[in-house]
Protein backbone atom coordinates (compact mmCIF):
# COMPACT_ATOMS: atom_id res chain seq x y z
CA UNK A 1 0.00 0.00 0.00
CA UNK A 2 1.62 3.26 -1.08
CA UNK A 3 -1.11 5.78 -0.21
CA UNK A 4 -3.79 5.94 2.47
CA UNK A 5 -6.39 8.56 3.39
CA UNK A 6 -7.90 9.48 6.77
CA UNK A 7 -10.79 11.95 6.90
CA UNK A 8 -14.39 12.62 5.85
CA UNK A 9 -16.50 9.64 4.70
CA UNK A 10 -17.28 11.36 1.39
CA UNK A 11 -13.60 11.88 0.64
CA UNK A 12 -12.78 8.30 1.62
CA UNK A 13 -15.23 7.21 -1.08
CA UNK A 14 -13.71 9.63 -3.60
CA UNK A 15 -10.19 8.36 -2.92
CA UNK A 16 -11.38 4.75 -3.25
CA UNK A 17 -12.56 5.57 -6.78
CA UNK A 18 -8.93 6.27 -7.72
CA UNK A 19 -7.57 3.23 -5.92
CA UNK A 20 -6.50 4.77 -2.60
CA UNK A 21 -7.72 3.10 0.57
CA UNK A 22 -8.98 5.10 3.48
CA UNK A 23 -10.58 5.28 6.88
CA UNK A 24 -13.46 7.59 7.73
CA UNK A 25 -13.13 9.25 11.14
CA UNK A 26 -15.69 11.28 13.08
CA UNK A 27 -13.71 12.39 16.14
CA UNK A 28 -10.27 12.69 17.69
CA UNK A 29 -10.27 9.17 19.17
CA UNK A 30 -11.03 7.55 15.81
CA UNK A 31 -8.46 9.76 14.10
CA UNK A 32 -5.77 8.80 16.61
CA UNK A 33 -6.53 5.07 16.31
CA UNK A 34 -6.41 5.22 12.49
CA UNK A 35 -3.21 7.29 12.55
CA UNK A 36 -1.42 4.88 14.92
CA UNK A 37 -2.58 1.91 12.86
CA UNK A 38 -1.07 3.37 9.70
CA UNK A 39 2.08 5.03 11.05
CA UNK A 40 3.15 2.55 13.69
CA UNK A 41 1.42 -0.57 12.45
CA UNK A 42 -0.44 -0.81 15.75
CA UNK A 43 -4.05 -1.83 16.12
CA UNK A 44 -5.03 0.04 19.30
CA UNK A 45 -8.11 -2.07 19.97
CA UNK A 46 -6.22 -5.38 20.05
CA UNK A 47 -2.64 -4.20 20.61
CA UNK A 48 -1.53 -6.32 17.63
CA UNK A 49 1.40 -5.07 15.53
CA UNK A 50 0.52 -5.22 11.85
CA UNK A 51 2.85 -6.52 9.13
CA UNK A 52 4.94 -4.00 7.18
CA UNK A 53 2.86 -4.30 4.01
CA UNK A 54 -0.15 -2.90 5.92
CA UNK A 55 1.67 0.42 6.22
CA UNK A 56 1.81 3.19 3.64
CA UNK A 57 4.41 5.63 2.27
CA UNK A 58 2.14 8.70 1.90
CA UNK A 59 -0.69 9.45 4.32
CA UNK A 60 -3.26 11.98 3.15
CA UNK A 61 -5.34 13.58 5.90
CA UNK A 62 -7.85 16.42 6.10
CA UNK A 63 -7.07 19.61 7.99
CA UNK A 64 -9.72 18.70 10.55
CA UNK A 65 -8.05 15.33 11.14
CA UNK A 66 -4.71 17.10 11.52
CA UNK A 67 -6.22 19.34 14.19
CA UNK A 68 -7.58 16.28 16.03
CA UNK A 69 -4.14 14.62 15.99
CA UNK A 70 -2.39 17.74 17.33
CA UNK A 71 1.01 17.04 18.90
CA UNK A 72 0.95 13.40 17.80
CA UNK A 73 1.03 14.58 14.18
CA UNK A 74 3.74 17.17 14.81
CA UNK A 75 5.94 14.60 16.55
CA UNK A 76 5.51 12.21 13.63
CA UNK A 77 6.36 14.88 11.04
CA UNK A 78 9.55 15.75 12.94
CA UNK A 79 10.56 12.09 13.26
CA UNK A 80 11.83 11.84 9.66
CA UNK A 81 10.01 8.54 9.06
CA UNK A 82 7.48 7.27 6.55
CA UNK A 83 4.68 7.80 5.84
CA UNK A 84 4.94 11.35 4.64
CA UNK A 85 1.92 13.40 5.69
CA UNK A 86 -0.07 15.50 3.21
CA UNK A 87 -2.87 17.73 4.52
CA UNK A 88 -5.78 18.67 2.30
CA UNK A 89 -8.97 20.69 2.93
CA UNK A 90 -11.97 18.66 4.02
CA UNK A 91 -15.25 18.27 2.21
CA UNK A 92 -16.40 21.68 3.50
CA UNK A 93 -13.24 23.48 2.36
CA UNK A 94 -10.39 25.11 4.24
CA UNK A 95 -10.58 25.62 7.97
CA UNK A 96 -10.52 29.28 9.03
CA UNK A 97 -7.04 30.59 9.76
CA UNK A 98 -5.16 27.90 7.77
CA UNK A 99 -2.53 29.12 5.35
CA UNK A 100 -2.14 27.66 1.90
CA UNK A 101 1.26 26.52 0.70
CA UNK A 102 1.39 29.53 -1.64
CA UNK A 103 0.65 31.90 1.27
CA UNK A 104 3.47 30.34 3.31
CA UNK A 105 5.94 30.69 0.43
CA UNK A 106 4.93 34.31 -0.17
CA UNK A 107 5.37 35.05 3.51
CA UNK A 108 8.78 33.36 3.60
CA UNK A 109 10.22 35.19 0.60
CA UNK A 110 8.38 38.45 1.15
CA UNK A 111 6.96 38.77 -2.38
CA UNK A 112 3.28 39.24 -3.13
CA UNK A 113 2.24 38.94 -6.76
Torsion of CA 53, 58, 60, 63, to 10 degrees: 130
pTM assigned to the model = 0.75
**pLDDT at 30 (0 to 100):** 94
pLDDT in tens, 30-43: 999 999 888 877 66
Query: H or E element: which one contains 31?
Result: helix 28-39
Q: Tell me how far apart the alpha carbons of residues 34 and 6 are, in angstroms, rounded to a whole number.
A: 7
Q: Are strands 58-62 and 84-88 parallel, antiparallel or unpaired?
A: parallel
CATH classification (class only), 3-109: alpha beta
pLDDT in tens, 65-98: 999 999 998 899 888 888 889 888 876 656 666 6
Query: What distance lies between CA 87 and its chain's CA centroid?
Result: 6
Percent of the chain with pLDDT over 70: 71
* pLDDT at 18 exceeding the cut of 80: yes
- Averaged pLDDT of the chain: 81
The domain ranges of the chain are: 3-109
Q: Is 73 helix (H, G, I), strand (E, B) or coil?
A: helix
Amino acid sequence: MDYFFIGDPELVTAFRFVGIGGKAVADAAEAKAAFLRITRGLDETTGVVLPGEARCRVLIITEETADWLGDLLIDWQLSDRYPLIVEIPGILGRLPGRKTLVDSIREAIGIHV
